Amino acid sequence: MDFHNPELYGHCFFKSILFDSLTPDEIKLIDSVKSEKLFRKGQTICIEGEEIKEFYHLKSGLVKLFKVDKSGKEHIISIAKPFDFIGLFTSFSNSNYQYSISAIEDSSFCIFDLKAIKHLIITNHVFALSLIENISKVSDHIIRTKIDMDSKMLRGRIAYIILYFSEYVYQNNTFEFPLSRKEIAELIDMTTENVIRSLSEFRKDNIIHIEGKQIKIINMDMLKKISNAG
Amino acid sequence: MDFHNPELYGHCFFKSILFDSLTPDEIKLIDSVKSEKLFRKGQTICIEGEEIKEFYHLKSGLVKLFKVDKSGKEHIISIAKPFDFIGLFTSFSNSNYQYSISAIEDSSFCIFDLKAIKHLIITNHVFALSLIENISKVSDHIIRTKIDMDSKMLRGRIAYIILYFSEYVYQNNTFEFPLSRKEIAELIDMTTENVIRSLSEFRKDNIIHIEGKQIKIINMDMLKKISNAG
DNA sequence: CGCGGCTTTGATGTTCATCAAGTAAAGTGG
DNA sequence: CCACTTTACTTGATGAACATCAAAGCCGCG
């Protein structure tokens, strides 16, 4: 793969708010320690507990950030799409990953040496401030969502998550769910059976059309009402 | 109040990991824009939505960080003691507070101009890195706790929170609960009635002695077992 | 002293997890 | 390529965990 292909290069840097602040020299420097890697759907990018040596920047695709509890159950903390800076979140608090990340769609990453990124923090204070802002935003979003979920009943959570994928991830009323029923359950803290039951109810009530992973929202107003009602 | 009392000064700066990296000149600079304020138990430090102009550093006391949902119910996100850098968490993602903070014990703060802190990020990269690490750590802790709670049943959550105050906040088997029953409920996402019921059960089972807000842990092993069992 | 807020206990009902069982889909190996 | 195994999906029945409702005692405060 050609790492210096200007098209890829452009994707990796200039579309990213975070890297906007870099000088040409800094871009050259960081570019020299970067590589690119494609992860297929289902593949693991990093595992909780591993040492953090690199900084991952999601270029395309979709990933899940998750944690396994004592009983072995997975808890999905967040779904991230490109430019969500999901790498940020798990890279600076510790020398080891606190969470695992795996691809729920084919995903390509730019991979930087973490030391180089830390060096940038030192040399470029605009970059540092931007980093701080972004870490805070990601945390805020995760925490706000969790609180939102806590006050919703199961149907409200399902409605919320359908809207999340429709509006935030795919910007489309029709889309293919990248998660299994089990993963949806892990994301919104309910059982697989009840995810299925709620989806079936929504179908019977003509709120959505669903066939396997293909979803089409029919009654958007009702879906929003259910999501907001909690 | 004498802001230049070396004893106070020491509390504000040198005991703090965050401010360790400052040069004497920087300390002088930041010291010139700092003030100090005492908040009595129950008083509000900042309210969600307000513009952030200052950076709060908790010197002594105990505060709660919380959010009010659509139905008006409070959700406590975190309890913070001195040097938990709770100010960090809500200061850099936005120009307005995403959460409210109020004192659950008499608490004194060092208050800095936020611009001065942002200036420090620019001039002192060790400080910047330290800030990034601390924000990440605080976020990590909050998210990990929330996930932990999700997999616990009510008795497990109560046990967890008693242990949290005993071990982390007060380092003592006997302590006075700084939260009302209702606030405990808001912290671990259950109803006030069930908080009371669980506490009563623990008393009947001779796991704790409780009289009003005064708590004494009698059977620590059992409490840990219940907390871990979930 | 009486009012409102906090605490406590009991009774009732609802939501949801668990269990069970069966179908469909997707890998796996001969 | 087909039998075989495994994994994902689906529905129904049951019971447990928990929220809600109700009522009464307690305490601080104007």
Q: What is the pLDDT along chain B (230 residues), one digit of tens a residue?
A: 333 344 444 455 545 666 777 777 777 777 777 788 999 999 999 999 999 999 888 989 999 999 998 888 899 999 999 888 777 777 777 889 999 999 999 999 988 888 888 888 888 888 888 888 888 888 899 999 999 999 999 999 999 999 999 999 999 999 999 999 999 999 999 999 999 999 999 999 999 999 999 999 999 999 999 999 87
Round and report the angstrom distance from CA (A181) to C1' (D12).
19
Of A94, A118, A136, the CB nearest to B135: A136
Among chain A residues 34 through 53, which have CB within 7 angstroms of nucleic chain D? none
Residue of B64, B86, B118, B147 best to disrupt the A interface, most CBs of A under 10 A: B147
CB proximity A205–strand D (7 Å threshold) = no
- Do B136 and A131 form a contact (C-beta atoms < 8 A)? no
Residue of B18, B90, B136 best to disrupt the A interface, most CBs of A under 10 A: B136
Q: Show the CA angle centred on residue B149, arms to residues B146 and B153, nearest 5°.
A: 160
> Between chains, do A94 and B228 touch, taking CB under 8 Å as contact?
no
Residue with tokens 């040097």: B83
- Do B81 and B62 form a contact (C-beta atoms < 8 A)? yes
CA dist A81 and A64 (Å) reads: 9
CA dist B100 and B109 (Å) reads: 15
Closest by CA position to A42, among listed A107, A91, A87: A107
CA dist A65 and B141 (Å) reads: 16
pLDDT at B91: 75
Helices A192-204, A154-163: axis angle to 10 degrees equals 80
CB proximity B153–strand D (7 Å threshold) = yes
Round and report the angstrom distance from CA (A177) to C1' (D17).
31
pLDDT at A17: 65
- Do B77 and B65 form a contact (C-beta atoms < 8 A)? yes
CA of A150: which chain B residue's CA is closest?
Answer: B189
> Between chains, do A122 and B125 touch, taking CB under 8 Å as contact?
yes
- Which conformational region is residue B39 in: left (phi greater than 0), alpha (psi within -120 to 50 degrees), or beta? beta
Round and report the angstrom distance from CA (A186) to C1' (D19).
23
Chain A residues at the B interface, defined by Cβ less than 8 Å, are: 67, 69-71, 73, 75, 77, 89, 91-94, 98, 118, 121-123, 125, 128-129, 131-133, 135-137, 139-140, 142-144, 146-148, 150-151, 189, 228, 230
Per-block average pLDDT, block size 10, for chain A (230 residues)? 41 60 77 84 91 90 92 92 79 85 92 87 85 87 92 96 96 95 96 97 95 94 93
| Beta strands per DSSP E along B93-203 | 100-113, 174-176
Closest by CA position to A145, among listed B142, B152, B164, B212: B142
Measured CA to C1', the nucleotide nearest A191 is C17
Of A75, A128, A137, the CB nearest to B125: A128
State which nucleotides on strand C lie below 7 Å from a protein beta carbon: 6-11, 15-20, 25
Residue with tokens 């106070």: B8
pTM equals 0.89
